[in-house]
Amino acid sequence: MSQDCCQKMYDDFFGQKMAQKQLKQYLKKGVRKNSRPMINSLKKLPIEGNTLLDIGGGVGQITFELCKEGIDQVTHIDLSSGYLKTYLDEVEKRNLKDRVKTMLGDFVDLHENVPSSDIVTLDKVICCYEDYEHLVDYSSAKARKWYAFTVPRDVWWVKAVQQLGVLIQKLRKDPFRPYVHPVDKIETRLEKSGFRKIDQQYRRAWMTCVFEREA
């Protein structure tokens, strides 16, 4: 799929109206429940003074929460121009412009120009991308210390719900597709790249894993 086609699909599905709604919910109620395990796990690590690469960062929950913990610099990448605009507006309100760099587009296409960071996060991002192998390989290569992701649990009942959702999207002629990728294969790729798992948590249909690069 070309970047232009992918860009339009994500802009259509993840529009600015949805982004503004999610930001409003975050500001009112705090971090969404299915994002809390990742953020809580990262907060337990010595992250102060480190850098963050947040791929598919949405409205910026991870940026804003980890900046409170002393993250020094953030690179935020998103395919949705609506989400990126909403994020940048909030970054400015929080006086974080000097600590944040943004990139619009597909990380897999952009990865050669993306700087490495101490922490790389993909919160419910791998499940939105068909070519998960390249996404995982390229993104984990950018992580100097820690790599964290949240994906749908690779179990039958989650797959059943996903298949129903795909059917509905096909009937609506919506090109966007969610995926339930094999978690064991994702973990194997990370282990072969020199990472070891240090945390794993579940939140209903979601699974969060944090990996640390071995010395």
Rounded CA separation 153/180 (Å): 7
What amino acid is encoded at 115 in this protein? P
Rounded CA separation 205/203 (Å): 6
What spatial distance separates the first Cα and last Cα of the chain, rounded to whole Å?
Answer: 37
Question: For 106, which DSSP code?
Answer: -
Q: Which pLDDT belongs to residue 149?
A: 98
Domains of the chain, CATH where assigned: 3-213 (3.40.50.150)
Q: Which pLDDT belongs to residue 178?
A: 81
Give the position of tokens 């993104």.
139
Rounded CA separation 20/15 (Å): 9
Q: What is the pLDDT of residues 13-57, one digit of tens each?
A: 556 788 999 999 999 999 999 999 999 999 999 999 999 999 999
Q: pLDDT band for 1, please (50, 70, 90 cuts).
A: very low
Helix (H) or strand (E) holding 86: helix 81-93
Q: pLDDT band for 12, please (50, 70, 90 cuts).
A: low
Q: Which pLDDT belongs to residue 138?
A: 98
* Percent of the chain surpassing pLDDT 70: 92
Q: What is the pLDDT of residues 187-213, one digit of tens each?
A: 999 999 999 999 999 988 999 999 999
Q: Which pLDDT belongs to residue 157?
A: 85
If you average pLDDT over residues 170-176, what whole number do you get? 73
Rounded CA separation 51/116 (Å): 9
Rounded CA separation 114/138 (Å): 10
Tell whether the model's pLDDT for residue 151 goes beyond 70.
yes
Please give the structure tokens belonging to residue 10. Answer: 């994500």
159/69: higher pLDDT: 69
Query: What is the pTM assigned to this prediction?
Result: 0.89
Rounded CA separation 187/190 (Å): 5
